[in-house]
Amino acid sequence: MTQRTFWSVRGALLALAFVLAGCSGTRQTLKAPSDGHRLAVVTTFLPITLFTRAVAGDCASVRSLIPSSTGPHDFQAKPTDLASLGQAQVLVKNGLAIEAFLDKLVDSADNKKLQVIDSSRGVATLASVEGHGSDGHHHGAVNPHIWLDPLRAVQQVEAIRDGLVKADPSCADGYRRNAAAYIGQLRQLNSEIAAQLKPYRGRTFVAFHDVAPYFAQRYGLKAAFLVDVPELNPSPADLQRVAAQVRQNQLQALLSGPQEGNRSFNALARDLGIGIGVFDPIETAAPQAAADPGTYLTVMRRNGAALAQVFAR
């Protein structure tokens, strides 16, 4: 054997060992903790993971593609994500182009048996407001934040239920039972927030980025924002526009996400002599919270209370 042939063979063996090790690790990640026969489901990001866990119960093993500490705008795929999609049986997504990375990732996984559930299918959407922010980028033609309306979230849960039943008919009763229980909680949540915000119908609030139009529409409010997507920096014109809205509507606070620390937004609040409240778009959470479908209900109740507090000041 020549030296060149030796190194070629050695390199091929090392590459094969790496691939096998990676696949083995992925199988361990997706393996069901009990009998190993549960449906293997991959979700995209936090609200979709919470809804899917609520429906899946003990019938399926649910794993989020995006870590709960990372939002869909910031996600960078890794080789292990490709392997996870390659072995999953079902993928559940929000849709409406918020998971911009996903189509290429699914194509690269080349999993012919993968069933994709688009939870936005059939949900009435709102158009995005054309690009506020220094570079003019925006979400796209449709605002994707449908999960922030509890009744649209009901539709997403129904779509997830129907998709899981189709993928795993053996546990159809379980998926339907779990979905019905969660949908009941979502409807109760909607009733509570509607009663809480009824005195403020027609009022305007301002969030840092364009997350809240579905929430606002559901409860008869008007949602304004500084920038369309959170990674953008506001232009002077954006700051002037929001300042005018604050004065016109006599607002006493701006609303920021829990992880948004935009200096311009904070400085604007100081200049206007108003406070900063929190409206959580439910795109990130601590790992323990991300494992509990009740997190959606808890955070949405906090969002309703935050709006009521802003209007009552």
Are 128 and 223 in the same domain? no
Question: CATH number for the domain including 233?
Answer: 3.40.50.1980
Q: What is the band of 9 on the pLDDT scale with cuts at 50, 70, 90?
A: very low
Are 167 and 214 in the same domain? no
Query: Which of 191, 221, 245 is at the close of a domain?
Result: 191
Determine, yes or no, domain membership for 101: yes
Give the helix/strand (H/E) hosting 40. strand 39-43
Are 254 and 116 in the same domain? no
Determine, yes or no, domain membership for 16: no
Are 92 and 115 a contacting pair, CB within 8 Å? no
Determine, yes or no, domain membership for 17: no
Are 166 and 259 in the same domain? no
Q: Which residues span the domain enclosing 45?
A: 35-191
Are 228 and 181 in the same domain? no
Q: Is the pLDDT assigned to residue 23 strictly greater than 50?
A: no
Q: Is the pLDDT assigned to residue 231 strictly greater than 70?
A: no
Determine, yes or no, domain membership for 21: no
Average pLDDT estimate for 275-284: 92
Are 233 and 144 in the same domain? no
Please count the helices (runs of H) and the strands (runs of E) in the chain. 11, 8
**Distance, CA of 84 to CA of 64 (rounded, Å):** 10
Nearest Cα residue to 140 out of 97, 94, 93, 103: 97
What is the pLDDT, as a whole number, of residue 148?
Answer: 98
b (16+ CB within 10 A) / e for 244-266: ebbeeeebbbbbbbeebebebbe
Are 43 and 184 in the same domain? yes
- Owner of token pair 């100081």: 270
pLDDT in tens, 80-125: 999 999 999 999 999 999 999 999 999 999 999 999 999 999 999 9
Are 171 and 239 in the same domain? no
What is the pLDDT, as a whole number, of residue 153?
Answer: 98
DSSP states along 23-38: HHHHHHHHS-SSSS-S
Nearest Cα residue to 45 out of 30, 66, 74, 62: 66
Are 295 and 251 in the same domain? yes
Residue 49 CB-density burial (10 A; 0-12 exposed, 13-18 middle, 19+ buried): buried
Residues 6 or more apart whose CB falls under 8 angstroms from that of 98 comprise 72, 139, 144, 145
pLDDT in tens, 144-185: 999 999 999 999 999 999 999 999 999 999 999 999 999 999
Q: What is the band of 73 on the pLDDT scale with cuts at 50, 70, 90?
A: confident
The dihedrals phi and psi of 5, each to the nearest 5 degrees, come to -65, -40
Could you tell me which residues are beta bridge partners of residue 93?
118
Are 116 and 260 in the same domain? no
What is the pLDDT, as a whole number, of residue 31?
Answer: 38
